[in-house]
Every structure is written in structure tokens, then in C-alpha cells.
Structure 1
């Protein structure tokens, strides 16, 4: 009676592992991998045998990863990234020949601005490249390190030594109001308008206080926040209701107005700090030709709008 040959752990299984850990769902992993749900379920069974671990276990109505799976997730992403680089075409090759998926974490104010422009460019020039836009739950650099994301477009503090940066542009906040409202028809917003009109606060952390409140406090004034929403895009849409103000980045308001959203933007009648919007990536991708090409695409996609707005813009990789 012969000895059973143990199953091997191949790259396809590792891709299934990676998709399962990212989504926490057999069904969603199947969609990402372009497989059927039964095929993905069979692959999970193989993974459990090969890795000698359940990988995902039932918790209520969902699935959660085991401690072993969590410890292994970064290693698997690194292996997959290394394998992808082995297949990468040399610099100067045709992007149409590339087969890559890039994960991009976007500052929420730029999701409606950059995502469609960049997607259109990628679809035209590199149909084999897929973009996976990731919600900005935090600004921590660890996802860049472990390969969970490839690019981070963010407003954040100084980066760690292993993360490269480039400033895309410098922006400031404007007050978004409904174009057909009384505030939308006045020539400019006054301090009284700002303080007497209800505000919608856009904050992924649910904050009701920000730099505007500090600036108003210095003048002995305050505002009234009536609602908090998780993103600037949602806040701008909330401002379509009459008699509501939401502060959003100027680039976001301008993009929405250009696309026909009936908003009006006003300068804020107090001094507020500006924000440097940066593109960040880990050093493991610094010299990768497709990743470098993608960074150039990000810059090219956003440049026409920043130029039209006369936003201070630089492009120097560090």
C-alpha cells in the first residue's frame, strides 16, 4: 500500500487564500477571482488540508480568520507580489501586455474626483490592469508594507523611512451649498451666514469639531453641526438641501459642480489651514515599472483639474 503524496501549495491556492482573507467571504472571493462559489469552496477545503488549519471559521453569519491565517496574510501577499514581479514586463514595454491588480487607498474627498479619471485612463491604456479602490479606514502605513495596498493617496503626517512620497497638490476647504438656495445666490458667504446656518460635518471618525471650530472660537463665534456623515462626497450631496452648509475640499466641490451637481462653493470667511495631498508607496514598489507607470497615471489624471484650479502642484518622487 503506497504512501499518500501530500498536496502542494501552489500560487493559485495562495491567490484564493489572499482573496478569502481580504473579503472574509467565499462568495466575494469567488467574484474577485472570477471563479464559481463551489470552486472557491473546494479551494478553501484544499487550503485547509495543505495548511493544516481551518483558515476561516464561522462567527455568527460571517466568517473570521484564524490566528494562523492572520499571521500568514502578510507573507502570502509578499509571495504573490514577488511572483507578479517575476512576470512583469521590463521598463518601456507595452502596458497592454500587463496583467496586474493594484490596490489604491484614496482619501475620501478624492474618490469621486480621481477614481473615475484614473479608471478611464487605465481602461484605455492597460485593459489587463485592474484597480481595486480601498476605503480609507485609517492612515496607517502597515497596509503599504504588507501589500494590502500598493498606493495611498492621503493627507497625513510625515511618512516612515520605508515609504516614498510625492505631493500631488495643496488644497483648502470651501463651503458647499445648494446652488438654488438663498446661500447659493449670494455673492459671498459672510461670517454670520457661516455661524447661523446649520452644518453637516464630514468625518470618517464621526467628529463634530475641526479646524473651522478652532478658527471660529478665536473670533468668539461658533457653528451648529446638525449631522455627521462619513465622507466629503456624501456631505456635498447633503448640502443640496436648502439652508445647510458642508465644508469640503475645493477640488471635490469643483469636480461635482463640473459634473452637473447643482452646488455652489463659497470661500470660507475665516483662515483655515491648507492640506498637502500626497501619493505614497512602499519601497518594494519604487522601481517596479508598472507601479511607476501607475504613479505617473495618477499625476496625469489629477493634473488638468489642479491646473484649472491653480492649486499648487509638485511632482517629485522621494
Structure 2
């Protein structure tokens, strides 16, 4: 039987997107063409691959079983067939899309942009905000690099830890906790709090740590961004718990102070993530290196606010 590697690519796209339309958009072909490819895949494998359940399509048990293997095979084929080119940064013209946590953009974005412009003036960076729900832009190629505290679990997403930072409590200068000689867990819990969550979550790891001490706190509001939470803290007796690097950037300008958190909490990680299709992309690897250095400097405390 003669094998058609195009079917392998189509199968990978179908299993990734879970729909004919999504796979067609990903491979830049028409929906009828992708439907014909799905028909050929079904005849070749003897399996339906995707079956319609209501308005959506569900992968069969066989499709689920081979999804990771298909992914890896497509990646290997691309690596073999990709031409090797020497990277010329002086003439490189490319736009990279980066979905980073807002605090990382504010703290490490300027250093990254400066380094990029110095080495490759034809490269442009598109920083976009984090999605309010889990998204798949990395898989679809719509985002080149992610940077936040979350470690993706998908096997086709590469992730490395760029650093870590601890949480601190942020309050206005006249807050009772700022005047206290010692910030205890009981005093911290007794204050009113604002959490930072783009999904509006009222609780987080802080509440779990307090519960282990038999304590609980009152969260009066959530804010979608740290900038909004800082505004709440600036104008009222509210406590915000954020990574130390973020607190350093806001304390001076907004009249806020950072206090050591009186809880045993693990450090907050900073992860850099990308899709495996870019593993052998020399331009992408160059950008990853610059981003890694910029993020590491923030996590270690070497970076300063712009």
C-alpha cells in the first residue's frame, strides 16, 4: 500500500482541532477538501476517527489512542524535511505573538523589546492579554510564546521554568498592617482582601495555607488584573497578595508597600511555553533565548520597573 504523508498531516490537524472546519483552517485548505481527506483516512484505517455527537465531533477510542503518536510522527517528518538555514538577524523580518501575564509584560517586556530591536530591527513583537478561558492558540500557531505561572499539560507543548518568585502582601502606606510591628498570619487573615483572577476566582493557594492554620480570610472583591487590584489597595484598607516582582514595580509609584507574607507557601513559578513545531525554528529559538533571559532577570529580582 502506498502511503500519503499528507493524510498523516490531515489526521494530526483533525485530532488537534476536533472538527473538519477547524482542521481545514489550520492547514489552509477548504472544508470539502478536508472532508475528502477524512474519508480517505477512514478507508485507510478502517476507523471513523471522528463521529458526530450533536453539534460537535468526538474522537473514537482508536483516534484517542494514536493521537500522541501521530503528533510525534508529524513533528519528526517536519524536522527531517525542514531546510537548514543560517539565521541572519540583521535581515530577519518576522512578527512574533506573545501571550504573557500582564505583570511579566510590564517587567520583562521592555528588556526583551530592547534586545530584539538591537539584534533584529526587522522583528516585531505582538504582546496580547491572557484569555479568560483555556485556549489553544499555541497549538493553532496563533501564539508563539506564552509566559505565566501555569504549566500546560499537553504533550505537544514545550515548557521550561524561567524562574520563580515568592508572594508578598501589598497594602497602602497608611494601612494598619503597614503600621504593625509584626505581620502575623492572624492579623493578615483578619484584614479584608482582594484577589487577582481573570476568571473571578475568590480563592487561591493563600486560602489553603490559611486553612492549615485554622484561619480564613474575607475576600471582598476580585480584580481581573494586578493594576486594578493595586488601585483598590491604594484607595482603601485592602490587602493584595501578588508575586514580589510585581509588587516592586507598583509600590513606589502608587504609594503602596510590600510586606512579607506570614505563610508557608511555595514560590510562584514563571513558565515559558511554546508548541513543539518551533523546536527546530532557528528564529523562534533565538527569541526564546532572549525571552528566557528577560524572564529570569524578573524572577531573580535583577529587573527594575520601567
Instruction: Specify which of 266, 270, 274 is matched with residue 263 of structure 2.
Output: 270
Please list every run of 5 or more consecutive structure 1 residues that lacks an aligned counterpart in the other structure.
1-66, 78-87, 311-318
CA distance in 2, matches of 1:257, 1:121: 27
Q: Deviations over 1:132-173 (max 9, x none)?
A: 122221675732121010111122245333222221012221
**Normalising by structure 2, what TM-score?**
0.67
**Normalising by structure 1, what TM-score?**
0.64
* Matching of residue 250 in structure 1 with residue 202 in structure 2: no
Q: Which residue of 2 aligns with 1:142?
A: 136
User: Secondary structure of the residue that 1:96 maps to in structure 2?
Assistant: coil
Q: Which residue of 1 aligns with 2:277?
A: 284
CA distance in 2, matches of 1:182, 1:219: 22
CA distance in 2, matches of 1:154, 1:134: 13
Moved more, 186-195 or 274-283: 186-195
* Matching of residue 75 in structure 1 with residue 47 in structure 2: no
The answer to whether the 8 A contact 1:236-1:248 is kept is no
Q: Which residue of 2 aligns with 1:295?
A: 288
* Structure 2 counterparts to residues 1-318 of structure 1, below 5 A: 72-76=24-28, 90-93=85-88, 95-137=89-131, 140=134, 142-157=136-151, 159-257=153-251, 260-308=253-301
Distance 1:141 1:124, change over 3 A: same
* CA shift for structure 1 position 226: 1.2
Distance 1:218 1:169, change over 3 A: same
Aligned residues: 233
Q: Which residue of 1 aligns with 2:49?
A: none
Moved more, 153-162 or 282-291: 153-162
* CA shift for structure 1 position 250: 1.4
Distance 1:208 1:140, change over 3 A: closer
Q: Deviations over 1:260-280 (max 9, x none)?
A: 342211111121233321111
Distance 1:281 1:288, change over 3 A: same
Distance 1:188 1:106, change over 3 A: farther
* CA shift for structure 1 position 208: 0.6
CA distance in 2, matches of 1:90, 1:185: 61
Distance 1:186 1:92, change over 3 A: farther
Provide the alpha-carbon RMSD of the alignment: 3.0
* CA shift for structure 1 position 102: 0.7
The answer to whether the 8 A contact 2:138-2:144 is kept is yes
